[in-house]
Structure 1
């Protein structure tokens, strides 16, 4: 807020008074605890991200990569162990770009340029030359730890290692990078970048620093968000961070209302949609997020917090077991 006021008032300040204004601002920032806004020692100009890597080409991974290519115009390497998943994701990307062209949001030339910026690989070794990598695999702690252990060995010593986790501790993920790494500073290059779903539409991104995360890493992540035209919100490294610590109990309680016969799926969604002015109700939202994803996040929250309000409902657990995962599987709380 303080910086915005300075920017707004700056045009009315004569060149003669500029240095005096800045000196006074620095003095005021000392008094208000925000000296780092002006201190030359604390300003970090993030190095240019010449290539971005994405691990996992599901809905989130593809969305992040597509927006980075389209908005920030950064070459992106999409990595997944499944060539079938890669092919499916690229077709979906082309479909999204074609839709944007049809609706005149972008030109055909822009769509073609974006598509050319997307490359793929089934080998993580292809990430050896990226400057920033974002892991976007399922919310399973052991899988994420394994990925980061590998990234620490494959990526260059300057590469920022980010995770799209929505609930797992960044500090714990960072610790996995030191298991077989010869670089003791690798942990300082790990950060959380939790994009909101669907990435091409939602502007919000949670930025989470672990205990080891350096200021330079944080600044670089914020620069990437800016280039991607996203709005970052910084969070402490606590289970669920901000969004899911609030959202998941809300969804879980809606599931319990359905499970215990309080009301129907339609009425539950309708009252929350029409009563709180949100675009969709909690059960429909769970279908779009993925029932398995909601369940995995609730499990992490419950295990980490030990609070019964985070205990996933029995119905949620059973739907995952049945393969009713929401929109992506064709059936969840609704049919698709």
Structure 2
């Protein structure tokens, strides 16, 4: 496939892509030539290939734009694509995220959102962080179809089983996979609470999945591949952990844990999150959620470490998944004694 970043060409895209794109373009009704398009690869996706598609319109200087998403190899290990599409369409019906415009066997065409994807530094901007906290609370409150039970523990166990089936003996020993089942059970027992707030969680709130309209300052969350019901503390913990990543650097797999938000930042985020539902939370409520979030970072580290191992075997994207997994495991064993006290014995 030839992709030109500048200029409009009669594309040599795969036929299934061209067929869906042609159908979408025809629906617009004002495109000069549906086969003459501009294809711009977008960076930062870790499991999919993503392209911006532009067509010239009869209006001259104006373009029509859509987003073309090509699914990564092996991702069916992590989630059910049909479930993800249903979530995508339901989110659109709720007025959240882009509209689904077309599908083909290994990808889809989405509405192009005229907003800016956040950069790593944006997550530390107090104003943008407050907007994200408010949006998260709205997202967690969505009434989505399907079961309302917590998914994270079964998901981690399933991924552990998959990692064991893929790993070489050397990797299995390095990552101590033989003792992780016990760790997962311990975390589930320690972290689960009868009164914890369960909501529809995004579960992958890295900066690349958050967009902002610079004029209206409205936030849009995109990419719902891992979305499901979970403790909201888990979702917030995931977002805090993502503040240490920069997937657009020369070493996108390297996480700088010195950039993890400090206590003041975490308290501010949690207070805004709780306050956005319409009442002023007490200091005790804020402190409790901050405390719960910190413990759930451990579940996040195991979740994404196992994701890294599996991805290292099934995904061909240029990303050092194994080193990423090592960092997440290292952080898990480092933080566990501090966060869990007597549970914190490490191998």
Do these two structures clear the TM 0.5 threshold for a shared fold by scoring above it?
no
Please, what TM-score do these two structures have when normalized by structure 2? Answer: 0.24
Please, what TM-score do these two structures have when normalized by structure 1? Answer: 0.25
Return the structure number with greater relative CO, CA threshold 8 A, min gap 6: 2
